[in-house]
Structure 1
């Protein structure tokens, strides 16, 4: 079995909306190093990521669709072009309100 290729420093990464390919695309790690990890999550409407904690600070940037992000005692809807910062260890969950893709970026040493 071969490892999934990740982008290398200096390589252009396409994060444009998937559009009609959204329904057939899968979540994929785009880049991973000791200090940063960038994952493009793809979720169908109705899918839920139950409450969990990240070991590092994260940003969530919606690329298309709409997600409901619960953290810090409130639910916020994110749509294309919106981003949210969450501190390391903060409990959070995600519910996909429409088919969506978003970037999850984890910052800092593992």
Structure 2
């Protein structure tokens, strides 16, 4: 599906799948990426670090985002920035969708 120049509903671009994490890259450039994810309840990303700040916008549902051991609940309509080089993880409290923006400059 060509996304450029069209008004689209973000939450419709990735579907939930039982027991899975689904991702769709919307923009992939040298300077950064924009990726839409869906997570079934209980699914997540294990603790890791990244060399760049990561902007997360929750589109639907609710997740627990842990940054340097400190958990926070983030829900639909909320955002959080995960800082570069700091351990972070996330887990779906209930099914949720998020937009992840990574800028590498």
TM-score, structure 1 normalization: 0.78
Which structure carries more strand by proportion? 2
DSSP 3-state at the match of 1:90: coil
1:36 aligned to which of 32, 35, 55 = 32
Relative distance call for 1:28 and 1:79 in structure 2 (3 A) is: same
Aligned-partner Cα distance in 1 for 2:62–2:54: 18
The aligned length equals 101
User: Is the CA contact (8 Å cut-off) linking 1:6 and 1:32 kept in structure 2?
Assistant: no
Relative distance call for 1:56 and 1:11 in structure 2 (3 A) is: farther
Is structure 2 residue 38 aligned with structure 1 residue 45? no
Aligned-partner Cα distance in 1 for 2:40–2:96: 7
Relative distance call for 1:26 and 1:50 in structure 2 (3 A) is: closer
Q: CA RMSD in A?
A: 2.3
Is structure 2 residue 22 aligned with structure 1 residue 26? yes
Q: Which residue in 2 is equivalent to 1:68?
A: 64
Aligned-partner Cα distance in 2 for 1:79–1:94: 12
DSSP 3-state at the match of 2:81: strand
Deviation at 1:6, TM superposition (A): 7.4
Aligned-partner Cα distance in 1 for 2:15–2:51: 28
**Unmatched tracts of structure 1, length 5 or more:** none
Relative distance call for 1:13 and 1:90 in structure 2 (3 A) is: farther
**Unmatched tracts of structure 2, length 5 or more:** none
